[in-house]
């Protein structure tokens, strides 16, 4: 049996002198790797991954540790680091195009011996492709506004002289202030201005809260929320009323407060909330208040705008018969988090023909599992026999309750799938959709169009002439609605690049849409036009967005659900909870308990969303 001191002396010729010093953990939770601190600097070329937690300690003995420069840092960056990184990497289109050309020229591929050997020739010019610019759709607003219809200009518009097409009702609301810099009088003034903006925008909004705004300590968020909610309901319940909205004022740097608040509101109290940062409360900017009003409206069940073509039933393969549009995404833990589950989210339109409101469901699943496990589930119950459930089934039932009709067509936008997983995801998830439909009614199989949405690619599109004001927007990027479906696309499959948004800073990245399955027989023009038009219906702003809203909403819902995860309950990270559950769904006895590879813990279940929350766009 060798000691650590003997091992390093015999193997590396290194004598450890300070045997009382602690070791560095340079592995991960599943495979820990401990190194004596003295030799970590000497062995850093062999073990370059020095634990980042150790770097932050203020101890003199840490100074013997050295990290080789130029390594890729794969863990999560803080907000300051992200801001600094974006500042360095953010380039205008003309600058980026120049840098790309300079890099290609500098690499001198024409002189590369390996390229010559394989007969590869790389042009020093950018590829020239044909593109079209799709027109912006007309948007419908309420008839009581001065402007009833709106045609966006270069991917944007505003709410001046317009009212929401379906304003929501906020009759009963309260405000809680967690920022010690905001006085109660300031909080009251802010809430009044926000209520006023909601009314101007077309909502029915009571200017007086159920109870006056109160202040609370951030470290007592749960106690404060529950006590104030109880006080409000004590006043409302005898009248048969419910609390519609909670307005919360947060410190600018609020740590875990935001996540704790959303978890308590949406999974415990069953109320939608709108958080506002201190800096915005003091500024009280009209544009900010208008944007917050948009978010509040959809959270309480309203609609901000609708496509004119949707109301007049002129959208091909959507308006002719009841159509449900799904969006799905899976978000994975940040690098370095080796035991956290992945979060899957699925949203689905709940109104037809408008296709504007989306209900959302979330579930936790196996660590870094890309296939959505809870789309469809079945198990044997000793009393009821075969029991089926799942996210698709629940959203189909919800659609029928909301519209009075069952969907006759399904369009499924799936975000976040790499090319190597295309057909694995298609086979598994299309099968789940089929089974969910069949579980509702024998022979119920509406045609499905399955589209993957990708943003993480390296394709960039530049205008031929950066000085042509008719070819670029104010940021120098290509115009919103620019679509490319030849030359740089797949030679035989159905895919296209669509830049549906106007650039703000940097170089716009077009979204890549790849149609893996199409039983609805969309034409290229039809699907491109539908996708582009939907990008103008995003609820949180008056701009067209870069990816189709259902996929965007699914991403937001999955990101929100990450806040619901409770911390580990033991040092080993093991959990005693049952199989992974889903917000808003009862987990059946036959539900499978998936496990993180290499860990002893089943997937931590998400707390269930309250029914009244999951019916609205709580994630906005």
Strands 139-140 and 306-307, sheet pairing: antiparallel
Element containing residue 175 per DSSP (H, E): strand 173-177
Q: Check residue 332 and give left, alpha or beta (phi > 0: left; psi -120 to 50: alpha).
A: beta
Strands 409-415 and 494-499, sheet pairing: unpaired
Most distant CA pair in the chain: distance in Å?
A: 87
Backbone angles phi, psi at 64, to 5 degrees: -75, -15
pLDDT at 336 over 80: no
The beta-strand segments (E) located in 409-477 are 409-415, 448-454
Chain centroid to CA 181? 31
Within 13 A of 338's CA, how many CA atoms are on the CB side?
Answer: 14
pLDDT at 558 over 60: yes
pLDDT band at 59 (very low <50, low <70, confident <90, very high): very low
The tokens of 36 are what? 């004596």
Please check whether residue 365 is in contact with residue 374, taking contact to mean a CB–CB distance below 8 angstroms: yes
Give 60-65 contacts, CB < 8 A, sequence gap 24+: 61/18, 61/21, 61/37, 62/37, 64/37, 64/38, 64/40, 65/24, 65/37, 65/40, 65/41
Q: What is the pLDDT of residue 2?
A: 87
pLDDT band at 314 (very low <50, low <70, confident <90, very high): very high
Other C-beta atoms lying within 10 Å of the C-beta of residue 368: 14
Percent of the chain clearing pLDDT 90 (strictly above): 76
Q: Which of 331, 309, 330, 328 is nearest to 410 (CA)?
A: 328
* Higher-scoring residue by pLDDT: 466, 34: 466
Q: Which residues pair with 345 in a beta bridge?
A: 329, 362
Query: Lowest mean pLDDT: which of 155-159, 403-407, 422-426, 581-585?
Result: 581-585
Segment 472-501 shows an average pLDDT of 97
Chain centroid to CA 538? 13
pLDDT band at 17 (very low <50, low <70, confident <90, very high): confident
Q: What is the pLDDT of residue 581?
A: 37
Residue whose pair of structure tokens reads 């499905």 in the numeric block: 448
Mean pLDDT of the chain: 89
Q: At what angle do helices 184-200 and 286-299 cross, to 10 degrees?
A: 70
Helices and strands: H and E segment counts in the chain: 17, 22
* Higher-scoring residue by pLDDT: 496, 334: 496
Q: What is the pLDDT of residue 582?
A: 36
Segment 421-448 shows an average pLDDT of 97
Residue 33 CB partners (closer than 8 Å, separation 6+): 25, 26, 27, 47
Q: What is the pLDDT of residue 431?
A: 98
Whole-prediction pTM: 0.87
pLDDT at 584 over 90: no
Q: Which residues pair with 513 in a beta bridge?
A: 453, 496
Segment 43-63 shows an average pLDDT of 42
């Amino acid at each position: 049996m060798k000691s650590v001191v003997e091992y390093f002396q015999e193997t590396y010729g290194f004598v450890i002198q300070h045997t009382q010093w602690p070791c560095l953990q340079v592995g991960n939770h599943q495979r820990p790797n401990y190194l004596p601190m003295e030799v970590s600097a000497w062995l850093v070329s062999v073990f370059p991954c020095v634990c980042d937690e150790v770097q932050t300690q203020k101890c003199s003995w840490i100074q013997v540790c050295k990290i080789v420069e130029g390594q890729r840092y794969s863990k999560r960056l803080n907000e300051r680091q992200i801001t600094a990184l974006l500042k360095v990497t953010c380039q205008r289109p003309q600058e980026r195009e120049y840098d790309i050309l300079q890099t290609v020229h500098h690499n001198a591929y024409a002189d590369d011996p390996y390229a010559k050997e394989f007969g590869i020739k790389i042009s020093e010019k950018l590829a020239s492709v044909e593109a079209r610019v799709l027109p912006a759709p007309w948007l419908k607003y309420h008839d009581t506004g001065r402007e009833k219809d709106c045609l966006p200009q270069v991917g944007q518009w505003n709410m001046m002289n317009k009212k929401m097409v379906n304003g929501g009702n906020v009759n009963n609301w309260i405000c809680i202030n967690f920022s010690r810099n905001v006085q109660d009088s300031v909080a009251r003034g802010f809430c009044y201005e926000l209520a006023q903006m909601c009314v101007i925008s077309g909502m029915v909004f009571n200017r007086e809260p159920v109870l006056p705004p109160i202040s609370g300590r951030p470290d007592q968020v749960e106690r404060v929320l529950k006590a104030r909610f109880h006080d409000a309901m004590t006043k409302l319940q005898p009248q048969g009323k419910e609390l519609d909205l909670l307005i919360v004022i947060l410190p600018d740097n609020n740590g875990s407060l935001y996540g704790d608040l959303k978890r308590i509101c949406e999974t415990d109290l069953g109320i939608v909330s709108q958080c506002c940062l201190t800096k915005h409360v003091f500024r009280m900017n009209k544009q900010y208040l208008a944007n917050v009003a948009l978010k509040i409206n959809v959270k309480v069940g309203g609609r901000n705008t609708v496509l004119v073509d949707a109301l007049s039933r002129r959208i091909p393969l959507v308006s002719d018969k009841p159509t449900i549009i799904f969006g799905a995404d899976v978000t994975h833990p940040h690098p370095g988090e080796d035991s956290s589950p992945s979060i899957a989210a699925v949203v689905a339109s709940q109104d037809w023909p408008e296709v504007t409101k989306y209900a959302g469901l979330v579930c936790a699943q196996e660590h870094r599992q890309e296939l959505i496990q809870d789309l469809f589930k079945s198990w044997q119950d000793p009393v009821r026999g075969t029991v089926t459930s799942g996210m698709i089934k629940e959203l189909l039932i919800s659609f029928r309750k909301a519209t009075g009709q069952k969907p006759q067509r399904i369009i499924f936008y799936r975000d976040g799938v790499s090319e190597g997983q295309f057909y694995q995801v298609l086979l598994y998830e299309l099968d789940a959709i089929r089974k969910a439909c069949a579980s509702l009614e024998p022979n119920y199989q509406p045609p499905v169009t399955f589209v993957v949405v990708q943003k993480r690619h390296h394709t960039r599109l530049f205008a031929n002439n950066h000085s042509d004001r008719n070819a670029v927007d104010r940021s120098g990027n290509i115009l919103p609605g620019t679509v490319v479906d030849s030359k740089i696309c797949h030679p035989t499959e159905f895919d296209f690049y669509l830049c549906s948004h106007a650039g703000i800073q940097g170089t716009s990245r077009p979204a890549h849409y790849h149609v893996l399955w199409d039983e609805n027989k969309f034409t290229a023009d039809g699907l491109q036009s539908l996708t582009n038009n939907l990008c103008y219906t995003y609820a949180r702003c008056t701009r067209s967005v870069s990816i189709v809203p259902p996929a965007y909403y699914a991403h937001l819902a999955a990101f929100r659900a990450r806040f619901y995860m409770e911390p580990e309950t033991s040092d080993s990270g093991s959990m005693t909870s049952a199989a992974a559950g889903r917000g808003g769904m009862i987990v059946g006895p036959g539900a499978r308990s998936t496990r993180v590879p290499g860990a002893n813990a089943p997937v931590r279940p998400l707390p269930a969303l309250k029914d009244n929350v999951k019916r609205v766009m709580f994630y906005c």
